[in-house]
Structure 1
Amino acid sequence: MTERGPEGSDTLATYVFAVCRGVDPAAFTGLPGVGREELRALPLGTLTAVVQSVDAADFTDQAWQGRLSDQRELERYARAHHEVVSATAACCPTVPLPLSTLYLDDERARQSLTEEAERFHTVLRRIAHHAEWGVKVYAPEEAADDTVATAPLAATPSERTRPSPGAGLAYLDRKRGIQQRRERHRDEALRIADAVDTEVRVLATAFRRLRPQALQPTGQRPVQVLNATYLVADHRADDLALLTRTLRERTGVRIELSGPWVPYSFVGEV
């Protein structure tokens, strides 16, 4: 639970980045975090929280709502939060907490987080020696087909304002044919996406299929037919890279592999 601090400008609150096991404070030493104080480890029995004392006035509901409307400022906080989580995860199993997880003080943070200790232990067992990888598949571009424009006009000057006999039916037939080819192209792209997902899942401990990202405003980006994320054991990372290359060659479609990432997508399901 996130508790907003009081309005007083001199009051400090405890910001929590992550909960982990066996952290070496040197992993995050020197990182700025989201405040002016140094990052530190807060013991939680057999677990440890990575925390920072911050000005409570910077994290009131009003201050945070203002930050949400400033994209640049929001990105700065998100990057700083992610940097601390990533540095911690690089040295030990880590459960990242959401951006702006705040408590009134260390004791309140310790009490609340300790109540979730069993869940944290379960998540840490699940993600230990694993990383999150993203796989995106794009449909191949369709061949340009400009055979359908308008129904052809009669050749004689007196008849140029009206279609020749049968032209309307031929026009509709060609248009219907193009639509059918587009549907077959889409269905084939979705079939390839499902096949890629099925093969990658074999290497994964867990997976999530996300909503495909929409076209850019320019409309030039290929259509995305698979946007998925996978929890993969570290020792299978090379297998995943090899499989991705093999699938690209076999299908001929654009497949993007990204990672390894801190497994944000797989810590809230337990």
Structure 2
Amino acid sequence: MSAAPSTPSASAPPGPPELTYVYAVTPPAPSVRRLLPGLTGVGGRPVTLLHAPGGDPGPVTLVISDVPRREWDEDALRARFEDLHWLEDAARRHHAVIEALAAHTTVLPLRLATLYEGHAGALDVLRAQGQEFATRLARLSGHTEYGVKVYVRPTAPVEVTAPPDAGAPAEAAGAGPGRAYLRARRSQRQAHEDHYRQARLAAERLAAVAGRFAVERVGHPLQSGPLTAASPGENVLNDACLVPDAEVDAFTSALEGAVRDLPGVLLEVTGPWAPYSFAASPPPPPAG
């Protein structure tokens, strides 16, 4: 008896398509393509380029990773953003990709967890906003972001801590530890007010320096709360400046000179950074 022909087994239904995670927008530079094989993105995923199909990549490309939907869709992210260890790892990997790119080309960084519905969704954004991205990249070319922070130095604590005895005679309260305490408190208050006066003057001077050297300047929220416990004082200025690369040395020297005669404040200049503060906001994903 001949065997009956076997019936092909039904194929398993395809899984949900991956999402496309976008780190940044860059020009289609050969140096970027050579760099990518050595990069590892979020979740340990490979980093690749995505550009418009066809022979001409267009004025800009997207630096991407394809990530599993089950780990990166809205529901998954809502839970993962509560996991500080996961969030720190994702942020570090995101930042590492952008910093590596910035060392070789002009880069337009995008926010952590910028996600689209596969390559098609990301290409829709590229087609709609490609020229806008190209204009912004041209503006950023040859410029670097630097942070400028000013802190008010804390005043020295009052050394005489014993207040005058409320039950002592008036003539006794005017001398000894009581009088020294009042003098010390008055001196501390005056020093505190002087430090804030210097901080206002520093802010005016630094704004003038930024006006001379920076092509753009933005103010960030002042640092406060538990995470600033190790800071050198109260943060009263937290700016980001976009500075031409040829002017960096003159810019930093002018900043230092602006506060040299203001001992009540501390200047902190950070950078160079990829231009996070000056990146255009990425467009929202297509509806649905």
- TM-score range, shorter-chain basis? 0.7 to 0.9
Partner in structure 2 of residue 192 of structure 1: 202
Give the 3-state SS of the residue equivalent to 1:221 in structure 2.
Answer: coil
Offset at 1:28?
2.3
Give the 3-state SS of the residue equivalent to 2:96 in structure 1.
Answer: helix
Aligned letter for 2:40? P
2:273 and 2:230 map into 1 onto residues whose CA distance is 29
Pairing 1:72–2:85 present: yes
User: CA contact under 8 A between 2:157 and 2:188: conserved in structure 1?
Assistant: no
Partner in structure 2 of residue 164 of structure 1: 169
Give the 3-state SS of the residue equivalent to 2:215 in structure 1.
Answer: strand
Match for residue 35 of structure 2 among 14, 24, 27: 27
Partner in structure 1 of residue 277 of structure 2: 265
Pairing 1:207–2:217 present: yes
Aligned letter for 1:150? P
1:31 and 1:229 map into 2 onto residues whose CA distance is 28
User: CA contact under 8 A between 1:201 and 1:230: conserved in structure 2?
Assistant: no
1:100 and 1:164 map into 2 onto residues whose CA distance is 70
2:233 and 2:191 map into 1 onto residues whose CA distance is 17
Matches within 5 A, 1:222-237: 222-237=233-248
Deviations 1:18-67 (CA, angstroms, capped at 9, x unpaired)? 11112331122221111455322111332211111111111022211222
Offset at 1:220?
7.0
5+ residue gaps, structure 1, are: 1-7, 154-161
Give the 3-state SS of the residue equivalent to 1:135 in structure 2.
Answer: strand
Cα 1:207–1:34 shift into 2, 3 Å: same
Matches within 5 A, 1:1-270: 11-24=17-30, 25-35=33-43, 37-44=45-52, 45-147=58-160, 149-153=162-166, 162-165=167-170, 167=173, 178-214=188-224, 216=226, 221-247=232-258, 249-252=260-263, 253-268=265-280
Give the 3-state SS of the residue equivalent to 1:106 in structure 2.
Answer: helix
Offset at 1:165?
2.6
Offset at 1:261?
0.5
Deviations 1:204-249 (CA, angstroms, capped at 9, x unpaired)? 0111122321265757732222211100011111212322443454
1:251 and 1:189 map into 2 onto residues whose CA distance is 8
Q: How many residues align?
A: 254
Normalization by structure 2: what TM-score?
Answer: 0.76
Partner in structure 1 of residue 5 of structure 2: none
Cα 1:208–1:33 shift into 2, 3 Å: same
User: CA contact under 8 A between 2:23 and 2:114: conserved in structure 1?
Assistant: yes
User: CA contact under 8 A between 2:59 and 2:134: conserved in structure 1?
Assistant: no
CA-based RMSD of the aligned residues comes to 2.9
User: CA contact under 8 A between 1:22 and 1:92: conserved in structure 2?
Assistant: no
Cα 1:181–1:85 shift into 2, 3 Å: closer
1:11 and 1:39 map into 2 onto residues whose CA distance is 18
Aligned letter for 2:106? P
Offset at 1:182?
2.5
1:226 and 1:90 map into 2 onto residues whose CA distance is 28
5+ residue gaps, structure 2, are: 1-13, 53-57, 283-288
User: CA contact under 8 A between 1:215 and 1:223: conserved in structure 2?
Assistant: no
Cα 1:62–1:255 shift into 2, 3 Å: same
Aligned letter for 1:226? L
Cα 1:38–1:210 shift into 2, 3 Å: closer
Give the 3-state SS of the residue equivalent to 1:18 in structure 2.
Answer: strand
Percent identity between the two aligned chains? 30
Give the 3-state SS of the residue equivalent to 2:202 in structure 1.
Answer: helix
